[in-house]
Every structure is written in C-alpha cells, then in structure tokens.
Amino acid sequence: MNNNLSISGEDTMETIPYDATMHAHRFAVWAAGRAASVQGSRFTVGTLQKLLADAEFGMRLVTPDDLPTPEQLDCQHASWCVWLQTRAKDFGLTLTYGQAAKIINVYLKARFCTGPWLAHPSVTALHPPIDRVLLRSLRESNFKDKREDWGKLETLGWSKFKSKDYLTAISLIRECMEGRPLWEIEEHWAGHQ
C-alpha cells in the first residue's frame, strides 16, 4: 500500500507522506466539505481538497504558530474567502462568501480547536463556523440580549452571507464573547445532538 498522497498544486506536484499532519488535514477537508456544500452549490470533498491544495492550507498549517496572529486574522480570513471564491470558478463552482467562510472555519476548527491548543492566542481568535442551527439557538435564547441581531443574521442565511454580513456576524460574536475564545460560542450550537 502506498502511504503517500499526491496533491496537485497549480504548477507543482508534491508527494506528502501520510502522517499525523496529513491525517488531520484529510479529516479537516472532509468536515469542511460536508459542512459547506449546500443545495444549489454542491461540491465533492475531492474538489475541495484540490482547492485547498493551492491555498495557504494543509501542510502549511501544522501548528497554531503557523496561523495568522489574532491581529492579522480578520484580514487573512477575508483574503482566504475571496481566494476560495475566485479559485472555485476554475472548478465550475460558485461559492458565496458565507460558504467560503464556513469552509475555512470548519477546516481550522477541525485542525486546531482541540486538545492542547485551545488556549493558544491564534486559536482563541479563530472564527467559529456559523450556520442556521447556531444563529437560531442564539436568537431563541436571546444570547446577550441580542435576539433581534441574531434573528436578522438567521433570516439572511449563512450560505447567502456577503462579506459585510459575515463581518457583522463575527463582530457580534466577538462583542458577545467579551474576550473569551470565539470557539466557546459553539456551546449554543445544537448540531451535535
């Protein structure tokens, strides 16, 4: 059995050994692909693997020290979203900003929001995945007395978010978390049930 995975970049072909890093990467790609593929914009995990092979993901992001600093994260996140949207067109796909953000957020969550890295400053700043289940729960519980704000975002629908909608959601989450790690908002996500 060949324990190497070939990943095609735009101009290069790399052979990467199947190790713990590749194992975590494969899982993160699968999770992100499953979470962000929506009716009207479906894609395979294999397609997402090819998209992410060309980006600053995968083997370049191995530890939290490889992540942008908390101060750089929002700008880098926006660049990743726009890049994914643009590159997806080469695969005949149209990704919304919300879908691109969810791909990035689920990927990074699967890679870094576990175990010993949860307290790392770059991990505590990572944007949580946003979806209907989370927004509904936040609205229904009137989290931080922001029912109307959560409701507006829920009505828009995460998969239809434009960049300004997404930034509104992240800003609201950041405000409501009051300096706590952003991943902790997922206490209100009922999708695990």
Confidence of residue 19 (pLDDT cuts 50, 70, 90): confident
Burial of 16 (0-12, 13-18, 19+ CB in 10 A): middle
| 165 vs 60, residue with greater confidence | 165
The mean predicted confidence, pLDDT, of the chain is: 85
Confidence of residue 81 (pLDDT cuts 50, 70, 90): very high
State whether residue 16 is helix, strand or coil. strand
State the average pLDDT over residues 53-65: 76
State the average pLDDT over residues 168-190: 95
The pLDDT assigned to 135 comes to 97
Please, what's the b/e burial string for 84-107 (b: 16 or more CB within 10 A of its CB; e: otherwise)?
bbebbeeeebebbbbbbbbbbbbb
83-119 pLDDT, tens digit each: 989 988 888 888 889 989 999 999 999 999 988 899 9
Q: Sketch the domain layout of the chain as residue ranges.
A: 4-188
Structure-block tokens of residue 166: 């997404």
Confidence of residue 58 (pLDDT cuts 50, 70, 90): low
The pLDDT assigned to 30 comes to 87
Residue 38 phi, psi dihedral angles, 5° rounding: -125, 160
Residue 4: pLDDT above 50? no
| 56 vs 118, residue with greater confidence | 118
Angle between helices 132-140 and 147-156 (to 10 degrees): 160
CA 131 to chain centre: 11
pTM for this predicted structure = 0.84
The pLDDT assigned to 192 comes to 67
